[in-house]
Structure 1
Amino acid sequence: MNTSADQSYHFNVMRRAIDVIDAGGPGMSLETMAAEMGMSAAHFQRLFSTWAGVSPKRYQQYLTLGHAKALLSQRHTTLEAADAAGLSGTGRLHDLFLRWEAMSPGEFARQGANLTIYWGWFDSPFGPALVMGTDRGICGIGFAAEAGAKATMADLTARWPKAQFIEDAARLRPWAQTAFQAGASEAPPLYLIGAPFQIKVWEALLQIPSGHVTTYGQIAKAIGHPKAVRAVGTAVGRNPISLLIPCHRALRKSGGLGGYHWGLPVKRGILAWESARAEA
């Protein structure tokens, strides 16, 4: 099994490849792609196949902007049907066995006062990841590939300004390793820290199966606020637990990717990775 450090290295290769693919277009050959990356075709294909489960040429299709529209028109599920759409399958970390609880509104209003949050940096399939957690579960995951480590740390700590933050990677390592391990049989516990409306939106996101997407409008309908599309978009963007609460699976009605708090290259990479893993 690959280590998370291996996966992080592969993602750094993929980040460079996104730029190469965007510049070269869908007709670029494997040999040309590898040459642009400064690698042999065989080495480049081996790295990509190990990380994504499919060949670079196949993965290239998932990275195109049109792939999001294809997902939306062909493979998305309504949230009402999500439970019957495959959540009982095996090996889907982000859809199975998620144990979560939410901070009470009163606790949230205190902005983390009397709350101890532990943090640590870990390698992930999508670059360096900052993981935060309380004694009850993971409360934050941020990706630093685009934003940088300093900005990622400032972003997450600012969400709970009165909390006490303690660096303790060893405490969080079992949860982090499970979170970033493809095909894990269980997921780490989550501790949702947010306003009641935000938590409703995040709960809806948890219903979207891996390899599927939905729209902000469908999420708004699912939580009983069909006209609150813009507010839903804001809540999606404020999701503190990236990947495990899959805000990357929320798209605009047009099929556009919309924004992503940790950078669109990361969102594209995650969606492509999930589709490739589903195929593999």
Structure 2
Amino acid sequence: MRTRFAPSPTGPLHLGHAYSAMMAHDMARAAGGEFLLRIEDIDQTRARPEWEAQIYDDLRWLGLDWDGPVMRQSDRMAAYDAALDDLWARGLLYVCTCNRRDIQAAMSAPQEGVPTHGPDGLIYPGTCRDKPQPAARPADAVLRLRLADCLAETGPLSFEETGPAHAGQITIDPARMIAEVGDIVLARRDMGTSYHLSVVLDDATQAISDVIRGEDLFAATQIHVLLQRILGLPTPRYHHHRLIRDADGKRLAKRDDARAIGKYRADGCTPADIRQMVKP
């Protein structure tokens, strides 16, 4: 078993991060496997060295040790570019010039019962899908995936889920995916890639056997399984765990500094206290 914890250095780790990291670490160790660390810093406008340093410090304080060198996404742009070049050459990407306002305007009068939001945000209506495309992939453009074409190419898709809410073999419904996901963004101007593309390539490069993450990402897993298939990559097992929420039932975010690990440490808490706080 090889698991990973992949935080973004854009703020302090909170209790939800601690829970996910401890679960991935403990599951790997219990199976005699490896626990890897990856820094997801493709958003260089928000990533900060001090937050990255704090991640290492907090994880060590929690008693979590990782195997091998830390992977940093900012070092892997060549791999993301190569995958984008491959998908572009196969006609599976197109340039999108729409901004968020354009997309909202195109969806101003959706049919009753038709979903407007999916795991990638607003479901893109396909405005730019049939526009003429340049011969070479533009280096500084928003690129979207031709979802229907990809699904026609892949055939049946499924993945193994071991999390408590969805345990079993999950079959992906192509028609439902087209309606509820749409043509997702695989490259952004300010990043040169996207979360969906980078996480799939990174998990494959690190030979991750089991992806342990929050249940808020369960709906995005169908995207990742599709990308794995069209890129010829293995599909790991997935385990989507419960989210740690505040007293009002809202899931924690990095803006919740009061729940930051560093704050608990400063207040005299121990790693055992943190484990007790997130215990089901």
Task: Output the TM-score relative to the length of structure 2.
Answer: 0.28
Structure number with greater Rg is: 2
Higher helix proportion:
1
